[in-house]
Structure 1
Amino acid sequence: MSTSDSEEQHLLGEEAPPRGYELILPPGWVRIPLREGTKEALERVLFSHMEKVPEGIPRDDAMRFRLDMRRRMEKLVRTARRKGGGLDLYLPVLPRGGIFLMASFIVAEMPIGQDRQVPVQAVIAQLANEELPGGASTKIDVAGAPAVRRAYRSAFDEEQPSSTPEGIQQSPLLTRRVDYVIPVPDDPGRWISINFSTPGDGDIDSEFTGVLVELFDAVVSTFKWSYR
């Protein structure tokens, strides 16, 4: 088995920034690239992962179900792109225990220190010491290197409209958020974030919502850089 030049440099301890990253996803989750191949990825998801609709949905409603899922995924893609820097969107497309999980996370590039070289430890210290209303920041290790985990709650979700088409105001959707901020090794000024969001079962403090957060943390624990 041959290795690429960048992977050989990495194995030899030479400075070579990674070309990408890898994650192990739970069953039923998919990756939607945000920069290239987005449309093709959506088509693959709809036709390969959603051939069977969940139990309880009448056969006559199968097409409507797929169209609703397509609109939801396209809306998530638009939201991710509006935030800028997005690389990949991850979301569940198959039900677990007969229900669809309302959750997603985005891997994105972050513009930290791109105009000047800011020491990694200084950035991590600043992020870890930032006050998060109703949340907390923690220094951790990701892929064997220092990073920051930020956990908080949000009273507003860009994926949800603030009012109905008739103009009737709705209550803001409460969501649990967890962000990981990770420096790219051997590439000063480049950082990525992994941003998770879920309304859980409607109660962001419920055991079910906590399980979704734990699931995301478990996914991030599989993160590693790719040099191929």
Structure 2
Amino acid sequence: MFSLIPADAPRDRIEPYKAEISRRFHESVVEARRRGGIDLYVPLKLRGDQEFNLGASLLVAETTLPKRLREAPPTDPGELAVQLLSRDGEDIDVASGEVDGAIAVRREYVAESDRRHVIQAASRRVEYVISVPGDASRWFVAAFSTVGGGSPRDELADVLVEWFDAVMATFRWRHG
């Protein structure tokens, strides 16, 4: 984002802007780590010789089971997927299936802005929670978020969600 600032811009006007961008990005990274994040991707699109932020991010994490499931964990990943699907009080579109032969749950919802958690605008979220083959207690999470073109339900958001679903359709486990 700093590369978009004109070289001749007055330093006293630019420094507060740069400090705010840095602060927000740092807070996002801290929040991602708090949520068990392993990787955080913020895609940029090239436009000519400039870049612009697509208003999207992808967090990759390994999750722990919710407390209610840690106390009495199902031994079958399929049972766990059913329990993950049943979450009270949330307006979530959910589906289950497989990704590369592993049980998977796909959740989609709109998260409202919440400045306490670095969320500056409403965003559309799509999460894939996938069981790690051979270990029912470990789950891989790929969490995608976008503000679209200003609305989490606009055409750009739809296209970006389709892109993320296509990425996850090609996900493969590689055993080392």
Q: Report the 3-state secondary structure (helix = DSSP H, G, I; strand = E; otherwise coil) of the residue aligned with 2:160.
A: helix
Q: Where do 1:55-204 residues align within 5 Å?
A: 57-61=5-9, 70-83=22-35, 85-95=36-46, 99-112=52-65, 117-118=73-74, 119-130=76-87, 133-157=90-114, 158-160=117-119, 173-204=121-152
In structure 1, how many angstroms separate the alpha carbons of the residues matched to 2:47 and 2:88? 35
Contact in 1 for aligned 2:125/2:146 (Cα 8 Å): yes
Q: CA deviation at 1:150?
A: 0.3
Q: Which residue of 1 aligns with 2:154?
A: 206
Q: CA deviation at 1:205?
A: 1.5
1:53 aligns to 2:34 (yes or no): no
In structure 1, how many angstroms separate the alpha carbons of the residues matched to 2:40 and 2:125? 15
RMSD: 2.9
Letter in 2 for 1:136: D
Cα shift readout 1:150-200 (whole Å, capped 9, x = no counterpart): 001111342236xxxxxxxxxxx2110111111010113111211111111
Contact in 2 for aligned 1:114/1:190 (Cα 8 Å): no
Letter in 1 for 2:118: E
Where relative contact order (Cα < 8 A, 6+ residues apart) is larger, the structure is 1
Q: 1:149 to 1:132 in 2, by over 3 A?
A: farther
Contact in 2 for aligned 1:95/1:101 (Cα 8 Å): no
Q: Report the 3-state secondary structure (helix = DSSP H, G, I; strand = E; otherwise coil) of the residue aligned with 1:226.
A: coil
In structure 1, how many angstroms separate the alpha carbons of the residues matched to 2:18 and 2:124? 27
Q: 1:92 to 1:68 in 2, by over 3 A?
A: farther
Letter in 2 for 1:196: F
Name stretches of at least 5 consecutive residues in structure 1 with no aligned partner.
Answer: 1-49, 162-172
In structure 2, how many angstroms separate the alpha carbons of the residues matched to 1:114 and 1:96? 47
Letter in 1 for 2:142: I
Contact in 2 for aligned 1:90/1:104 (Cα 8 Å): yes
Contact in 2 for aligned 1:151/1:179 (Cα 8 Å): yes
Q: 1:224 to 1:130 in 2, by over 3 A?
A: same
Name stretches of at least 5 consecutive residues in structure 2 with no aligned partner.
Answer: none
Q: TM-score, normalised by structure 2?
A: 0.76
Q: CA deviation at 1:101?
A: 1.0
Q: Which moved more, 1:129-138 or 1:151-160?
A: 129-138
Q: 1:127 to 1:116 in 2, by over 3 A?
A: closer
Equivalent pairs counted in the alignment come to 164
Letter in 2 for 1:193: V
Paired-residue identity, %:
38
Q: CA deviation at 1:146?
A: 2.2
Contact in 1 for aligned 2:132/2:140 (Cα 8 Å): yes
